[in-house]
Amino acid sequence: MIVAAFLALALSYTSETVLTPRHYTPLIDTLSIASREYTLVADKNGRLVIDNRNKTYKPGDILNLKGNFKSVFITNMSGTEQKPIIVRNYRNTVVRVGEPDWNGGGWSVAFEFNNCHYIRFGSMSDRNQLIISGSVQAAREAYHDLHMGNKTDNMEVCFLTIQNGGNGIVAKTDPIKGDASTAYPNSFIKNLSIHDLTIADTKNEAMYIGHTATYWDHTVNQPYYNSPSKFTPGHDYVQPIKWRNVKIYNNLVKNSGLDGIQTAAVDGLEIYNNEVTNWGTQHNAAHNGGILIGGRTTNTNTHDNYVHDGWGEMCQFYGSGENNATHVISNNLFINNQSDGISMRGTENAIVKIVNNTIAGTKGNSLRINGYTGMKGKQIVNANVFVAPNGGVNIGSRNYVYVEVGGDAVEGTGGEENKKFATVAAAGLNAGNYYKPVEGSTVNSAGYRKQ
């Protein structure tokens, strides 16, 4: 059943809003311009499949989902920059998508966009009105809650709850043999905004943004992570295409089995004002980042995030310094884990400005810089507050800033000096108020400040 009507709609986007952790602002739905509106329900099998190759749905249209769906699959749908297609819950109703009983076989994705462009997906203002619930069965590792693939780009994903399943969000394009547009540097996928989501209880990564394979071997159809010098003669290798311009903000990510927010292969990445907690519950040392700035990332800015009380490293950096790329990690609050705080192993001599972060309660080092993969330059480490590394016992000077395998750092002096303390009490920080300095604290202007 499809019902069409003409309504007026405009959306107040919040892409420039910076919020403090645990504080969220709703999107406001107001009337402005005429748009066609459709109400869509599931078929008799509980599914909705749309192939828009004949352009049934046009730029500016509004697709209201009503009721419950086992899965939604949308392909070949495009709005425009001025008139995105809006996919949302029917006004003032709760929509649930997903198949918690899935335990293998087909339909392994709850919601998929395939070759789609210029779409805004999410509820109008309340993340509890559009809920994606993935598998909770033994095979859940193979289940994706939300998948954006096959060159899908220019997407805004907002005001959702995503829970269970394997991966919460997967947004990448796999190389296709014979299609040069799926290989870097022939093209990019552009403009992804993910904001105001709650993602909880995923078996794998809560967010998997960008392709993690350094190369793709078309001959065997598998990823390849080693040096080109070790290519198998006669095999056909390409690099997966990159995202360009990705913003991830105002999200709550909790209880992920592997990484919390994982990114890779992005040029122009901003991750801010997210809260990540209890990540890495599988205790897999190879997949344990609260926030991961992954391989082939350039021009990144990670700021104003609150990452706390998890198993793995709170922030991991594997980005690239190619083409004089810039990287910043600033004003983040990283608290309590069972590993290092910020762990760095970039490539192409990446230089990162690490400024005004507070890192406390790490089982390992506060900051660890490894030059093994080519990050040999001096990292800029200014005005941070490092508290109680090494589990708070037998703390050596290197536990605050640990460099190894050719890694290096230059620490600020004077007003940009890093402050180092064995305990929270010695630092004069209020652990109950985002580690704000109390009266008499000597941290001065160093460290995190809740905005």
Report yes or no on 417 lying in a domain: no
User: Looking at the predicted structure, is the pLDDT value of residue 327 above 80?
Assistant: yes
Give residue 435's pLDDT band: very low, low, confident or very high (50, 70, 90): very high
| Per-residue pLDDT tens digits for 6-51 | 232 333 222 222 333 333 334 334 334 568 999 999 999 999 999 9
Q: Report how far residue 25's alpha carbon sits from residue 17's, in angstroms, rounded to the nearest whole number.
A: 9
Residue-wise DSSP of 237-306: EEEEPEEEEEEEES-EEE--SS-SEEE-SEEEEEEES-EEES--TT--TTS--SEEE-TT-EEEEEES-E
33-47, 308-322, 381-395: segment of lowest average pLDDT: 33-47
Place of tokens 């220019």: 154
| Per-residue pLDDT tens digits for 347-358 | 999 999 999 999
pTM for this prediction: 0.93
Q: Is there a contact between 349 and 326 (Cβ–Cβ < 8 Å)? A: no
Average pLDDT for residues 235-262, to the nearest whole number?
A: 99
Nearest to 341 by CA among 377, 303, 312, 314: 314
Report yes or no on 86 lying in a domain: yes
Output the six-digit token pair for 177: 């043999």
Question: For residue 223, what are the domain limits?
Answer: 2-312
User: Looking at the predicted structure, is the pLDDT value of residue 397 above 60?
Assistant: yes
Place of tokens 């780009």: 153
Report yes or no on 78 lying in a domain: yes
Mean pLDDT of the chain: 93
| Per-residue pLDDT tens digits for 129-159 | 999 999 999 999 999 999 999 999 999 999 9
> How many structural domains are present in the chain?
1
Contacts of 128 (CB under 8 A, 6+ apart): 94, 161
pLDDT score recorded for residue 354? 99
Distances (CA, A) of 448 to 362, 379, 442: 16, 19, 14
pLDDT score recorded for residue 33? 55
Report yes or no on 57 lying in a domain: yes
Average pLDDT for residues 85-95, to the nearest whole number?
A: 97
Report yes or no on 279 lying in a domain: yes
Report yes or no on 399 lying in a domain: no
Q: Report how far residue 312's alpha carbon sits from residue 257's, in angstroms, rounded to the nearest whole number.
A: 11
Q: Report how far residue 416's alpha carbon sits from residue 423's, in angstroms, rounded to the nearest whole number.
A: 21
User: Looking at the predicted structure, is the pLDDT value of residue 112 above 90?
Assistant: yes
Exposure of 21 by Cβ count < 10 A (0-12 exposed, 13-18 middle, 19+ buried)?
buried
pLDDT score recorded for residue 125? 86
Report yes or no on 266 lying in a domain: yes
User: Looking at the predicted structure, is the pLDDT value of residue 399 above 50?
Assistant: yes
| Per-residue pLDDT tens digits for 172-220 | 999 999 999 999 999 999 999 999 999 999 999 999 999 999 999 999 9
Report yes or no on 284 lying in a domain: yes
Place of tokens 């392994």: 108
